[in-house]
Structure 1
Amino acid sequence: MSIFQIRQKTSGAVLWTGSADDERTALDAMAREAGYADYAALPDGLRSAGFEASKLDLIS
């Protein structure tokens, strides 16, 4: 698993940070934490604003 950070494209606000297998599962996890079944269940208005999923490279 990797660490991903999800940001809203228009404002740059960080919406979610956590571990996921890939970008798609990170978007699903963000949506579930917000109370939706998955990313596809988010209202069209939210999805149309756009999200940016970034894989964080954490080096210790």
Structure 2
Amino acid sequence: MKLFQIRQGATGTILWTGSAADPIAALDAMAHEAGYYDHADIPDHLRAGGLHAEEIRV
């Protein structure tokens, strides 16, 4: 597993940090923790400006 950080593109706000196999799995994990089925269910106002999943190193 890799460590990812997801940011909201328009504001740069960090929405989630955690481990996942790849960027899509990270988006799905973030959405699931927020109560959504997967990243496709995330509301448009959060996706405005894009969601950026970036692998981070610690």
TM-score calculated relative to the size of structure 1 = 0.85
Match of 2:53 in 1: 53
d(CA) in 2 for partners of 1:36, 1:49 = 20
Total equivalences in the alignment? 58
Match of 1:37 in 2: 37
Shift of 1:41: 1.6
Match of 1:27 in 2: 27
For structure 2, the residue ranges without an aligned partner over 5 or more in a row are none
SS in 2 for 1:30: helix
Greater gyration radius: 1
1:1-53: per-residue Cα shift (whole Å, max 9, x none)? Answer: 00000000000000000000000000000101111000012234433431011
Q: Is 16-25 or 43-52 further displaced after alignment?
A: 43-52
| Residue type of the alignment partner of 2:15 | L
Identity %: 55
What's the Cα RMSD here? 1.2
